[in-house]
Amino acid sequence: MIPARDEADNIGPLLGDVRAALDGRVDYEIVVVDDGSVDATPVRLREAVLRFPRLRSVRHEAPSGQSASLWTGVRLARAPWIVTLDGDGQNDPADIPALLDARAAGPSGRRLLVNGYRQSRHDSWVKRASSRIANAVRRRVLDDGTPDTGCGLKLFSREAFLALPYFDHMHRFIPALVRRSGGEILSVPVRHRERAHGRSHYGVRNRLWTGIVDMLGVLWLQRRATNPVLAKGWSASADEVERPTAREEER
């Protein structure tokens, strides 16, 4: 599942990389959510759909944000497990099999998040420094179980994701929200590539204060979470239900 906004020059090569990584390995579909792009991204997607039947593309009428794009894409997806990656091409689809292998070897159950951990960032020093600080603060405050919560390369259950609290910018806190629901986090080292075209929509100014407010909101959710453990239950089968007596039937 790929959220994309104004990624006309990146989306085609990224789709090609996904095909190279997954064709012949697993049965899959690609869902791309165009978040109100004003460049040629919709044109590139229409062209790609004609060549690639595994691709499904939808479009927001106006930019609604990455969290809204993820929510739209996961709801439209038909598979029980979802892999997400950013539309800018900096996540390498060749790492997807490693996430699938980690899921297969990890704990059973649907409350599992396999989270990419970018080993070598190809971003400006300002972005690397701000991301390092943000990850450290989130990890300290929320105990989210991963060193790189901002990595776009993630694998999770569709059912588990749709059960998470939804709010704008919730994509930055998926590991913390999964742990809040009683789930487990696995971190897998992944590559990080340079952005070939376009520019990032995120910067220090438009993430700092919003991120702090959102983090405090997630902390509030964590402190009010309850995950009761079910004890043994009973149910009556058809044979166990007492049949009415003749006198009761007459009534």
Closest CA to 13 of 145, 185, 178, 196: 196
Q: Tell me what pLDDT residue 128 has.
A: 64
Q: Tell me what pLDDT residue 157 has.
A: 96
Residue 135, CA distances (Å) to 95, 126, 130, 138, 207 in order:
21, 14, 9, 5, 13
Q: Tell me what pLDDT residue 245 has.
A: 54
Q: Tell me what pLDDT residue 205 has.
A: 55
Q: Tell me what pLDDT residue 176 has.
A: 92
Helix (H/G/I), strand (E/B), else coil: 40: coil
Q: Tell me what pLDDT residue 241 has.
A: 47
CA–CA separation, 49 vs 162, rounded Å?
A: 26
Tokens of 209: 């204060």
Q: Tell me what pLDDT residue 207 has.
A: 59
What counts of helices (H) and strands (E) characterise the chain? 9, 7
Q: Tell me what pLDDT residue 32 has.
A: 98
Could you list the mean pLDDT of each consecutive 10-residue stretch along the chain, which spans 251 residues?
Answer: 96 97 96 97 96 95 95 96 96 97 86 90 64 73 83 96 92 92 94 80 56 78 74 63 51 53
153, 85 in Cβ contact below 8 A?
yes
Q: Tell me what pLDDT residue 243 has.
A: 53
